[in-house]
Amino acid sequence: MKNPVGPVLRMGDEVDQIVAAIEDGNPDIEIEVIDRGAYVRIQGEDRVVLTEASLQAYLGTEYRIRSLENLMSSFAGRAITASDSITWESAAIRKAATAETEGAAL
């Protein structure tokens, strides 16, 4: 994987459901799960998105995306947070988006 991005989660009861939510929310991206015993690295190339709605589909309607902070010990890439989602993206994606925006302004 050239530009892996995504969360690193401490092991817990919800990890399998979070992995499933990430896989479902990113159908066009190959998601790799690396189990290190005490933690799990979840990664995709260039961009991975996790929404509160996809988490709730697996963990119930009471689950909030901010609850992920308790499990996420680290991450790879740049994390962009919103009230209902987290997006991890690589520097390459950010540069491409910036260049596209600047080109459109000319």
How many structural domains is the chain composed of? 1
CATH no. for residue 67? 3.90.56.10
- CA–CA gap between residue 22 and residue 101 (Å, rounded): 28
Percentage above 70 pLDDT, the chain: 88
Q: How far is CA 73 from CA 7, 40, 68, 88, in A?
A: 8, 10, 10, 14
Do 57 and 78 form a contact (C-beta atoms < 8 A)?
no
Question: Amino acid letter at 100?
Answer: E
Length of the chain: 106
CB 86 within 8 A of CB 79: yes
Which among 40, 31, 37, 41 has a CA at the least distance from the CA of 1? 31
98 pLDDT band, cuts 50/70/90, is low
The pTM of this model reads 0.85
CA distance 106 to 36: 48
Supply the range of the domain harboring residue 51: 4-104
pLDDT tens digits along 43-80: 999 999 999 999 999 999 999 999 998 899 999 999 99
Question: Residue 101 has what pLDDT?
Answer: 61
Q: For 14-43, what is the mean pLDDT?
A: 96
